[in-house]
Amino acid sequence: MTKRIALDTGPLGMIAHPKANRATAEWFRSMLESDCEVIVPEIADYEVRRNLILEKLTENVKRLDQLKRLPTYLPIDTAAMVKAANLWAEARRRHKPTANKHALDGDAILAAQARLAGAVVATDNVGHLDQFVKTRKWCDMGFRKNRAS
């Protein structure tokens, strides 16, 4: 069974940098060479992209565009938004919100996308997402090369 890994905004933003630091670049390469499926959730792409556009980091935007073709790109759909609304409400009832009540709450949308895809979220902020979905700190995730390689 293939392990599915959904990228949160932290690791996705670092990977999108044309001159990614060595540790991030090696980690990403090891993911691509392993038996896991790398997923870029549309909400993570949106959150990273909007900041890159704001800061006029056009090379980073180009790299982000390339990344959408490499791993699995997971568009937001109705099922994800319905699941996100339920996760958002559950978190509020437990008094553990991940965003202001007037915010769209990208964490709830990301968690919904990952849950529906059966993916673990690679993140640098386990605390916000772990109430919704399996998460791991990206730098703690090690991958073995695909045996077919």
Task: List, for residues 72-98, the tens digit of each pLDDT value.
Answer: 899 999 999 999 999 999 999 999 888
Is residue 135 a contact partner of residue 121, using CB atoms and an 8 Å limit? yes
pLDDT tens-digit readout, 100-138: 888 889 999 999 999 999 999 999 888 878 889 999 998
DSSP string, 99-144: S-TTS--HHHHHHHHHHHHT-EEEES-HHHHTTTS-EEEGGG---P
pLDDT tens for each residue of 11-68: 999 998 867 778 888 888 888 888 889 999 999 999 999 999 999 999 999 999 988 8
If one looks up domain 4-75+118-140 in CATH, what number appears?
Answer: 3.40.50.1010
Predicted TM-score (pTM) of this structure:
0.88
Domain layout of the chain by residue ranges: 4-75+118-140
